[in-house]
Amino acid sequence: MILLKDAEALDAKDPLASFRTRFALPQNTIYLDGNSLGVLPKGVTERVAGTIAGEWGQDLIASWNKAGWISLPLAVGDMIAPLIGADAGDVVVGDSTSVNLFKCLSAAFAAQSAQPGQNRKVIVSEAENFPTDNYIIQGAAKLLGAEIRYTAPGASPIPLIDGQTAVVLLTHVNYRTAAMYDMAAITKAAHDNGALMIWDLSHSTGAVSLNLKACDVDFAVGCSYKYLNGGPGAPAFTYAPKRIANTLTQPLSGWMGHKNPFAFVLDYEPGDAIKRFLCGTPQVLSLVALQAALALWRDVDMATLRAKSLSLTSLFMDLVAQECGRFGLKIVTPRDPARRGSHVSLRFEHGYQVMRAMADRGVVGDFRAPDLMRFGFTPLYISHAETFEAVQRLKAVLESGAWQDEKYQTRLAVT
């Protein structure tokens, strides 16, 4: 039987415990929703305020040069690069995950079409991608005249990849179940069949160990407001290694992606390597917030972070089985550590009502229709003792039937 003292013993030897003090955590809240919106790191507020008051307020337009605003997309990209196993100069930050997916998918398809004798028209993906991925794929497929093949939930996409496949586009960690694909094996299968590989790392970056270079990945995108704690609506990143980037064209040829944007010439000439994935003017306030948030990652060992993530999620699943097994909850997240991201999802018919009741009791997770309760474990600020307490409050909500209160029956606009 797992007791509170067991969780506290794990915390006593946690090498990441000190990172908790580097976040502005709300009092009396166990925040298990960092996989949707990360907590505010200390120092971000001051950095953004300084940018507004000094760089914008006093230096005005001179700050594009004086404060380095113009180089923020590449500078912040270089801070993300080591977290995903990429080289400096291979990552750029700007726009949203959806927009960046469109850029990469279009660039990959154009590269395949340019190959002599090729007639590749197939995009392989997964029906349970985060919806924006599939919506972007569907929209791009109409423009490109492509066919989409979806793998069934939980099934390997490899049998769908063949000589007709142009691109494989997958979400590395499933947003619903936290099931994680074997990046190296699938990327190799794509390449063995002449296809290009795109990974969405939105539920991976800052949560699991990644090595895009070692896996020979062609493209990747990801958001920065989850485990990277960049703030609501923080800009996303795009990865394309130098070995391929200089050969690519992407259709959103905005002026910041031009080789010389301030020449103001008529015709577009793409910039070097990853710079050609830039589009419009950098979102300066969002970028400086993200830059400040990323500063603490210089002190994080990703192997240690991954080990704690697995420890927290394993403890949570074991406790749910121990304390809540009689209530009909089903754990849908893989038990196998090699196949698991950093959140745990529980299937329950009345999951929405339970999550609202939990929030009123200081445990914040989220819900994914139709019946998944989702709990995210951010290793930098979540403890094992909090994990133990969260399950105790879940048990209390289920045992008391508190979720049946009328106030929890109406769906909120954002759930």
Q: Active site includes 226?
A: yes
Active-site residue among 374, 375, 381, 388? 374
Q: Active site includes 225?
A: yes
Give how far Cα 316 sits from Cα of 30, 307, 320, 378, Å: 13, 14, 6, 13
Active-site residue among 102, 109, 130, 237? 130
What residues have CB less than 8 Å from 247, skipping those under 6 apart?
A: 111
CA gap 368, 374 in Å, rounded: 7
Question: Which amino acid makes up residue 70?
Answer: I
Q: Active site includes 120?
A: no
Closest Cα to residue 94, out of 223, 296, 282, 264? Answer: 282
Rounded to 5°, angle at Cα 400 from 395 and 406: 115
Q: Active site includes 200?
A: yes
Whether residue 149 contacts residue 193, with contact meaning beta carbons closer than 8 Å, is answered with no
Active-site residue among 47, 103, 120, 226? 226
Q: What is the CA radius of gyration of the chain?
A: 22
Whether residue 175 contacts residue 369, with contact meaning beta carbons closer than 8 Å, is answered with no
Active-site residue among 200, 218, 276, 367? 200
Q: Active site includes 102?
A: no
Quickly list DSSP for 261-316.
GGG--SS--B-SGGGGG--S---HHHHHHHHHHHGGGGG--HHHHHHHHHHHHHHH
Active-site residue among 102, 219, 225, 277? 225
Structure tokens at 368: 């994914």
125 SS3 class: strand
Whether residue 316 contacts residue 7, with contact meaning beta carbons closer than 8 Å, is answered with no
Question: Which amino acid makes up residue 68?
Answer: G
Closest Cα to residue 153, out of 135, 174, 184? Answer: 174
Catalytic positions are: 130, 200, 225-226, 374
